[in-house]
């Protein structure tokens, strides 16, 4: 099993550009989440999903959209990139019981 | 807002010594988890302790939980150079829903050979 796969690993955007960060898991987990990690801030929850067709906002959702059309995939869309969105983004999945998160390797995003 | 706060922010010890990290949180929880992050990598789950448990062991790891003080500690015994990493506590808040975990800011642990 590959676990949680994130693409791309690195991305540089200009202010105002849009892009989609991809996340896929092959563990048949119900729950999927997106976090961002900034220096000195730990991880903050952006959006999460408890199953296909169901998404909700986390702590820092502004500027991001998500959808969950299948159990496996949970893409994160940046609508109009801003320098404040420069960060490392992590996707995670978990089973409903106990919510132990399995993380992808992350996407390092720079917005110029 | 973030729930967990780890203490200390950074810790440097000699190989073979024990390392203790503390975590405080604010709300009621279902469980508390500890994760490790090596530089440039994703987080890896280490251990989970449920709200009705007080202590748990896994190999060289010992976790305690005091729900009355809303605090937890992670002890790594007989540290090794490979334990150098950042360690995060994360809480699964009670009240329903699986809205991800709430992470602290982490403790950066350096093991000196």
Condensed to tens digits (0 to 9), the pLDDT of residues B54-87 reads 999 999 999 999 999 999 999 999 999 999 999 9
Chain B positions with Cβ closer than 8 Å to A: 1-2, 4, 30-31, 33, 35, 41-45, 48, 50, 88, 90, 92, 97-106
Phi-psi region of B63 (alpha: psi -120 to 50; beta: other; left: phi over 0): beta
Residue B84: which residues within 8 A CB-CB, separation 6 or more? B38, B109, B110, B111
What does pLDDT average to in each consecutive run of 10 residues of chain A (112 residues)? 92 97 96 92 91 93 96 97 97 87 96 96
The arithmetic mean of pLDDT across residues B6-14, rounded, is 92
- Chain A residues close to B35, C-beta within 8 Å: 101
Residue A97: which residues within 8 A CB-CB, separation 6 or more? none
> Is the per-residue pLDDT at B98 higher than 70?
no
Backbone angles phi and psi of B83, in degrees to 5: -80, -10
- Chain B residues close to A101, C-beta within 8 Å: 33, 35, 43, 45, 90, 100-101
> Is the per-residue pLDDT at B1 higher than 50?
no
Q: Is A102 helix (H, G, I), strand (E, B) or coil?
A: strand
């Amino acid at each position: 099993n590959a676990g949680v796969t994130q693409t791309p690993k690195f991305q540089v955007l200009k202010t105002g550009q849009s892009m989609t960060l991809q996340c896929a898991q092959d563990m048949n987990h119900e729950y999927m989440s997106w976090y961002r990690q900034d220096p000195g801030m730990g991880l903050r929850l952006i959006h999460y999903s408890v199953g296909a067709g169901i998404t909700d906002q986390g702590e820092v959702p502004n500027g991001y959209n998500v959808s969950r059309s299948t159990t496996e995939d949970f893409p994160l869309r940046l609508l109009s990139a801003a320098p404040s969105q420069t960060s490392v983004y992590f996707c995670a999945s978990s089973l409903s019981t106990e919510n132990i998160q399995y993380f992808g390797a992350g996407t390092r995003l720079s917005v110029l | 807002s973030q729930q967990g706060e780890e203490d200390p922010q950074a810790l440097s010890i000699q190989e073979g010594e024990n390392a203790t990290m503390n975590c405080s949180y604010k709300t009621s929880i279902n469980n508390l988890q500890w994760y490790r992050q090596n530089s440039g990598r994703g987080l890896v789950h280490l251990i989970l302790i449920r709200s009705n448990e007080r202590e748990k062991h896994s190999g060289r790891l010992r976790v305690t939980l005091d729900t009355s003080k809303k605090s937890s500690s992670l002890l790594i015994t007989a540290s090794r150079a490979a334990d150098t990493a950042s360690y995060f506590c994360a809480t699964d808040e009670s009240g329903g829903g699986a809205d991800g975990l709430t992470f602290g800011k982490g403790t950066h642990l350096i093991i000196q050979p």
